[in-house]
Structure 1
């Protein structure tokens, strides 16, 4: 399968926001086709925790994400980046095992302190893009166990496609519509970094995926 990378975009205003607080953002898209999913792999997550070192210690990359979150009006102490939230859970021994695909990218996120999101490409509509929200875009999520539709704050950094927001506060919470499931066979994994080299994390993720074809594209 050939991928049209115009289906993914990063707005310059998001990159400028990062630069305004002294950081350079990098975004890699890993496109995997012919994915084979399966039961979760807790051992993979435990290995990632062991390789990550002291998960409770301050981490420069996570501090950079806190800077960017504050720049678009989020409160990282309440809604941290996905990598920070995952590592906090892992530090407490609360390591969620979901399925083989989700465990793979969570393991990479824990090990490298890199936010990673996974989207089912069959559920995406049009161009998936990283933008600052107008504030009226729908976002499907769950609250108190029930499906709800929210909207982001104006100016909030979000991932969205032609239908709705797919992830709020850049990489804080993903929506339900494009979530990876046992039936997912084609996915995009979005790795996001500030002032770091994403290649080691990307290479490990590719090695962990069981897929017929994997392509890497740098979006920013």
Structure 2
């Protein structure tokens, strides 16, 4: 059994973080979902982040402050900031595949970042930790690999980094694809006062995955006192 492990170097920086770890099995990622799920999420982004510039919104400001606490590639932000900014500026997030559309819509509605990895492509344990530097990483849609920086928060498995700068960019190797039948998802909650809303939102997302994509989901919440869980 492979495990999802959040290591001490991460907790030294972010002791209050809580993460929803979601195991999705029996996924049929060729099913259709209502177009309205993604289109309505795009259309109502201003409800979540009404202020301009985007950095004036408290939710975004909290994530930017978090990213100042560790080494990042220049310009790296929490992935959800880019989604929200695009939609608010009239460039709606496009459809990719049913599962990705569901969790992108979730992020647009709630502001919580969501990572999704094809479980079959993962190798061994997943670790959320701080990079020593040089760990291999090849981002989705990029021509060349680019290793992690020393002091950077990363998710990694035995083959290398699967998400750089915490929740910024995912690796092409573990990308959720049309033919993915099992995925491992994680959704971070940065602040304790967000936890009730975070848990409610996660439950709504897993309900949609089960309803529309015929999958089974299991969710475990990870925190500093419960920092290990099986994912496969």
TM-score category by the smaller chain? 0.7 to 0.9
How is 1:91-102 mapped onto 2 (pairs within 5 angstroms)? 91-94=88-91, 95-102=93-100
**d(CA) in 2 for partners of 1:79, 1:113:** 17
Asked if the contact 2:103–2:205 (Cα under 8 Å) also holds between the matched residues in 1, the reply is: yes
Q: Residue 55 of structure 1: which of 46, 49, 52 is its match?
A: 49
Kindly state the Cα deviation for residue 212 of structure 1 after the two structures are TM-superposed.
3.2
Aligned residue number for residue 12 of structure 1: 8
Is 1:44 aligned to 2:37, yes or no?
A: yes
Instruction: Give the TM-score taking structure 2 as reference length.
Output: 0.83
Asked if the contact 2:63–2:78 (Cα under 8 Å) also holds between the matched residues in 1, the reply is: yes
Kindly state the Cα deviation for residue 146 of structure 1 after the two structures are TM-superposed.
5.3
CA RMSD, 1 decimal: 2.0
Instruction: Give the TM-score taking structure 1 as reference length.
Output: 0.87
Against the structure 1 CA distance between its residues 184 and 67, is the aligned structure 2 distance closer, same or farther, given a 3 Å change threshold? same
179-188 or 10-19: bigger deviation: 10-19
**d(CA) in 2 for partners of 1:137, 1:185:** 28
Q: Secondary structure at the match of 2:49?
A: coil
Q: Secondary structure at the match of 2:139?
A: strand
**d(CA) in 2 for partners of 1:59, 1:147:** 34
Q: Where do 5+ consecutive residues of structure 2 fail to align?
A: 224-232
State the Cα deviation string for residues 132-165 of structure 1 (Å, max 9, x = none): 00111100126xx653111111010011001100
Is 1:211 aligned to 2:208, yes or no?
A: no
Aligned residue number for residue 188 of structure 2: 192
**d(CA) in 2 for partners of 1:36, 1:55:** 33
167-176 or 31-40: bigger deviation: 31-40
Asked if the contact 1:133–1:152 (Cα under 8 Å) also holds between the matched residues in 2, the reply is: yes
Q: Where do 5+ consecutive residues of structure 1 fail to align?
A: none
Kindly state the Cα deviation for residue 42 of structure 1 after the two structures are TM-superposed.
4.3
Q: Secondary structure at the match of 1:147?
A: coil
**d(CA) in 2 for partners of 1:86, 1:102:** 13
Q: Residue 23 of structure 2: which of 31, 37, 42 is its match?
A: 31
